[in-house]
Chain A
Amino acid sequence: AQKVTQAQTEISVVEKEDVTLDCVYETRDTTYYLFWYKQPPSGELVFLIRRNSFDEQNEISGRYSWNFQKSTSSFNFTITASQVVDSAVYFCALSDDYKLSFGAGTTVTVRA
């Protein structure tokens, strides 16, 4: 069975600080996909990034970067130089075979 754990419930930072969100997953499959989604106060889940299990190369996209480590089953996400608009709930998600499962989410509050 697949499982996604986000141990951090809430994170509060001051604007321009970096924020790193932790995600640990469990799956029996060798082929799977990991995602990060953002849910702003409006409620709509917004896709941010995707990584497949065969590509451990870490990347940076604008102010977002991610660190995928298969050895520790972790898929951490970093927002660099946070802004107030980054305040939202962030969800890590795992898709193996066909089912997309979400973690419990981490609430990020960025204070001006």
Chain B
Amino acid sequence: EAGVAQSPRYKIIEKRQSVAFWCNPISGHATLYWYQQILGQGPKLLIQFQNNGVVDDSQLPKDRFSAERLKGVDSTLKIQPAKLEDSAVYLCASSNGGGGYTEAFFGQGTRLTVV
């Protein structure tokens, strides 16, 4: 079974530029998560989709971050404009349960450096 795919693996941009990350979840998984993991910290949930609807985006900085899930499958996360504090690893995960009772499977993440 193919895992969660993310691209790119690494990205370096200057502050105020924009950047987009892509995620392809495990086939058939209805729930998709985007997490931000700052160095030395645990992952912080940015947004959670159930199929193509948003379940939770309470911690998404909506003035600069946006996310969409196309046809309930692939997802993109965008930052515009980026700030220095956005430097982090962005993790995508998926699960086949919407009630939180099934484990989430994670991709390898995108390491973003904002200079």
* Residues in A lying within 8 Å of B, measured CB to CB: 4, 6, 32-33, 35, 37, 42-47, 50, 52, 91, 95-105
CB atoms of B93 and A50 under 8 A apart? no
Q: Is the CB of A47 within 8 A of B99?
A: no
How many contacts between A and B, using CB within 8 angstroms?
59
A104-B111 Cα distance, complex, nearest whole Å? 18
Taking beta carbons and an 8 Å cutoff, which residues of B are in contact with A? Answer: 33, 35, 41-45, 48, 50, 55-56, 89, 91, 93, 98-101, 103-109, 111
Tell me, in angstroms, the Cα distance from A86 to B74 when the chains sit together.
Answer: 32
Q: Is the interface of A mostly helix, strand, loop or mixed?
A: strand
Q: Which of A45, A95, A104 contacts B100 (CB 8 A)?
A: A95
B91 partner residues in chain A, CB cutoff 8 A: 45
Contact A44 to B100, CB < 8 A, known contacts A91-B42, A104-B41: no
